[in-house]
């Protein structure tokens, strides 16, 4: 029963990621599936690590840490990715202009 239970925090993490995708600025730089999938993966990873350490499904800390990890990932991605993409686009545009000259 415990291995399949990891799906519950993953679904909740995906919901957090989807909600963050639409509420936070910078969503034009983040694909539709990146934020929810990354948040779900973070929740599943923390849940799996906690379960391997001996935490059971009735442990509130396991739930809290799993959902907190998904929230952190869902907030960090829209903050970091737009800056990286803007710099990469700027470098590429400079490169294109240099080859035309």
Is the confidence at residue 101, as pLDDT, over 70? no
Query: Is 77 or 70 the better-scoring residue by pLDDT?
Result: 70
Query: Is 59 or 83 the better-scoring residue by pLDDT?
Result: 59
DSSP state letters, 28-94: GGS-TTHHHHHHHHHHHHHHHHHHHTT--TT-HHHHHHHHHHHHHHHHHHHHHHHHHHHHHHHHHHH
For the chain, the residue count is 101
Q: Could you count the other beta carbons within 10 Å of the beta carbon of residue 8?
A: 15
The pLDDT-based confidence of 5 (bands split at 50, 70, 90) is confident
The lowest-confidence range among 6-15, 19-28, 31-40, 41-50 is 19-28
Ordered by start, the domain boundaries in the chain are 2-100
At 53-71, the pLDDT tens digits run 988 888 899 999 999 999 9
Q: What is the mean pLDDT of the chain?
A: 88
Find, among 88, 77, 82, the residue nearest to 35 by Cα.
77
Is the confidence at residue 90, as pLDDT, over 70? yes
Is the confidence at residue 31, as pLDDT, over 90? no
Q: Compute the distance between CA of residue 75 and CA of residue 59 in angstroms, rounded to an integer.
A: 25
- Burial classification of residue 76, based on how many CB atoms lie within 10 Å of its CB (0-12 exposed, 13-18 middle, 19 or more buried): middle
The pTM score is: 0.80
């Amino acid at each position: 029963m415990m291995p399949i239970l990891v799906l519950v925090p993953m679904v909740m993490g995906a919901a957090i990621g989807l909600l963050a995708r639409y509420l936070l600025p910078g969503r034009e730089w983040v694909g539709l599936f990146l934020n929810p999938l990354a948040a779900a993966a973070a929740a599943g990873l923390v849940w799996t690590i906690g379960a391997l350490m001996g935490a059971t499904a009735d442990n509130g800390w396991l739930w809290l840490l799993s959902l907190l990890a998904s929230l952190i990932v869902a907030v960090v991605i829209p903050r970091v990715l737009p800056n990286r993409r803007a710099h990469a686009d700027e470098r590429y545009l400079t490169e294109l202009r240099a080859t035309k000259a």
